[in-house]
Amino acid sequence: MEERFVRYSIIFIFAVIATLIDGGIGMGYGVSLTTLLLSIGIGTAVASAAVHISEVVTALISGVSHFLLGNFDQKVFTFLAIPGVFGGALGAYSAVHLADATFVRPLIACVLLALGVLIITKFVRKRDFLDGEYERPRVRHLMPLGFVASFVDAIGGGGWGPITTPTLIARNANPKEVIGSVNLAEFFIAFSISVTFLLTLPKIDLAIVLPMIVAGIIAAPIGALITKRLPVRTIGIVVGIVIIILSLRTILLAF
């Protein structure tokens, strides 16, 4: 009993930190928590399923908080969410039927590493943009991005934020609107992935999901407020640093 309490307490603490990071800069929740669950002996597919079930609640609260605070772009949200639902379902189905689906992550990490360097360079050199200087992403870029990001996210237990957020920021989209839109779209992706896992996995330990949900309810609105308060230039630089760290970690673990 004591061992289980310690286990759930650790999951709760990590979930609070991951939610704050994810809500603040639009990435990190799935990668952080999936890594933790794998480290305590939970299988890849089950870990991904548990994280995404918790994300249904966390992403909804975070996304709505961002929307109410004005960190939102309807176009970005819509054309990420629609293909993301299908990519997530396909990725979850693949995760259940493939023994090791993590081979794709080092390849994605190399691309993201370059994006992280590009983002930091851009925001260190430039002043904060005026609202009229940001570029709204095109539909033909958003739809394949949403599909690929959700597929990788489902198959590896994380990747939606680390792929979508830096890609859009690197294309001169407004960082605050990107983070809020990505978080709200994540609700639909997480729901699609969770339903697929529940229908295809024989057993999921729902007990480990509860501390993650409680952590999300507490921390998600705070993460959205962090995004609202931070200067855009600071957000851009932090996003670049985090994506470089996560990418290097993925590459090092692969080799």
Nearest to 223 by CA among 37, 28, 11: 28
Burial 173-190 (b: 16+ CB within 10 A, else e): bbbbbbbbbbbbbbbbbb
pLDDT band at 84 (very low <50, low <70, confident <90, very high): very high
Which domain covers residue 66, as residue numbers? 2-254
Count up the domains in the chain and report the number: 1
- AA letter at 79: F
Per-residue CA distances from 10 to 14, 33, 115, 156 (Å): 6, 11, 32, 21
Cα separation, 29 vs 18, whole angstroms: 5
| C-alpha–C-alpha distance, residues 17 and 23, integer Å | 10
Neighbours of 200 (CB within 10 A): 15
Nearest to 63 by CA among 198, 129, 159, 161: 161
* 3-class DSSP assignment, residue 1: coil
> pLDDT tens for residues 178-223?
999 999 999 999 999 999 988 888 777 788 899 999 999 999 999 8
Global confidence as pTM: 0.84
Question: What token pair was written down for 41?
Answer: 């002996």
Predicted confidence band of residue 131 (pLDDT cuts 50, 70, 90) = low
Looking at residue 49, what is its pLDDT? 86
